[in-house]
Amino acid sequence: DAKTTQPNSMESNEEEPVHLPCNHSTISGTDYIHWYRQLPSQGPEYVIHGLTSNVNNRMASLAIAEDRKSSTLILHRATLRDAAVYYCILRARDDKIIFGKGTRLHILP
């Protein structure tokens, strides 16, 4: 499985944007970049995914570097409810999702 590298933890202030980085220098041309998050005492939750182009949905935006060796999950306006562990995952088409350690995001009121 291709590897991703994320910071262990990050802090952000409430109502400010949050940029969560992910490095994936060994990504292959067919790997999709997926992001999930896990709120305390809950199951993981799908956030967003993309292949080459930047993606937006109601939860977040995904910015993918031109060489695809890194990506950034952007939460436009963090709330206390966004405090969670965020997982950046590379997924080959048809392949299962393998979770790494993720980034624990703390939101400061």
Partner 1 sequence: DSGVTQTPKHLITATGQRVTLRCSPRSGDLSVYWYQQSLDQGLQFLIQYYNGEERAKGNILERFSAQQFPDLHSELNLSSLELGDSALYFCASSVAGGGDNYGYTFGSGTRLTVV
First to last CA, the chain: 37
Tokens 């992001």 sit on residue: 35
Is 76 one of the binding residues for partner 1 (CB under 8 A)? no
Query: Contact 8/103 with Cβ under 8 angstroms?
Result: yes
By CB neighbour count within 10 A (0-12 exposed, 13-18 middle, 19+ buried), where does 24 fall? buried
Is 86 one of the binding residues for partner 1 (CB under 8 A)? no
Q: Is 97 helix (H, G, I), strand (E, B) or coil?
A: coil
At closest approach, how far in Å is the CB of 81 from partner 1? 16
Is 100 one of the binding residues for partner 1 (CB under 8 A)? yes
14-73 residues in contact with partner 1 (CB under 8 A) are 32, 34, 36, 38, 42-46, 49
- If one counts every other C-beta atom within 10 angstroms of the C-beta of residue 21, the result is 15
At closest approach, how far in Å is the CB of 53 from partner 1? 14
Which range, of 3-11, 20-28, 61-69, 96-104, touches partner 1 by CB under 8 A? 96-104
Residues that bind partner 1 (CB under 8 A): 32, 34, 36, 38, 42-46, 49, 87, 91, 93-101
